[in-house]
Structure 1
């Protein structure tokens, strides 16, 4: 269990300042970054995860406790990412998808089967991902992230493609899992319902004005 620190993180595109953020996310805490398209929400996640486009410039430290992440290549940061699309590999069955990010070992198959059973998908190990429903794909995508043993989770609008009937169910399921695993979690979204469902701190960003200044505000849990 570690705390994710974003120490004076600043992101620019040319001469334009996109965002400035200084915060810490405790184990099991979910912090939401909100704002319209174009304020740099997904760009922030890209910097934290280690695949920021050369079109952007960034400064500031990203740490898990005392371990600097911003100086490490992406594959050594041990961060889990969940996107709008499940991004399951079409050439692998469900078990193959879940095994992809796991270390090889004798107990790997047993862990996969136990994970599938925990979400009611124990009979789906050999299924083609294309045959899964939207909710089933979302569950498999998160299981794949958790089985890779990440030290923190980044959520990039992961519920936006789900229909209304599934959205609240999958959202609460995801939040429960990351809290159960005591993972510091940063979610970016433009949807207020997602932010309310988390019930934690909200960092709200708005587009810069003509001077290039970014306006933002941090809130506590909704209703606090």
Structure 2
């Protein structure tokens, strides 16, 4: 990483992300990685809105809509942090349905959602066509370091104490998984954009 951090508000962060994602020609895949308190999906959607306003096809996709079936992800129980970290995401589906279509020679047809978490059933969504300069922003937690193809990676870092304070009620058990992710995966160490988000409404960012 190069350079220092600079403060920015959430609209400014979305504008920065849209600028980085919109600068290359051709299709662009963006990973917006962060725990729920950092609101990665909200950021991805705001950036997608800005990109569309500038004339580029853009789609924000929530990684939590691409989880493995409950029979698989909950086989060690509902509150197993290690399984949450390594076994919940359906990575093959993300590659096949979201990222590969936006890669070289891809069709540009991106599936916006795969599985309804609440009902544990497949959605019936149709693929969304994104043009030759389209941008897909895949947002969620625990995305980096898994070999998911992307032209731009963003990590929204929330420290351990802030994470435990900010996690929604009922999700506190996930804190050890996010701590292990930060410790072992070092997602901020190689993200193109690192955002300090202990105070999500007052982030600070640093570009690679």
**TM-score for both structures, normalised by structure 1:** 0.38
Structure number having the greater strand percentage = 1
Structure with the greater relative contact order (CA < 8 A, sep ≥ 6): 1 or 2? 2
Structure number having the greater helix percentage = 2
- Please say which structure displays the higher CA radius of gyration: 1
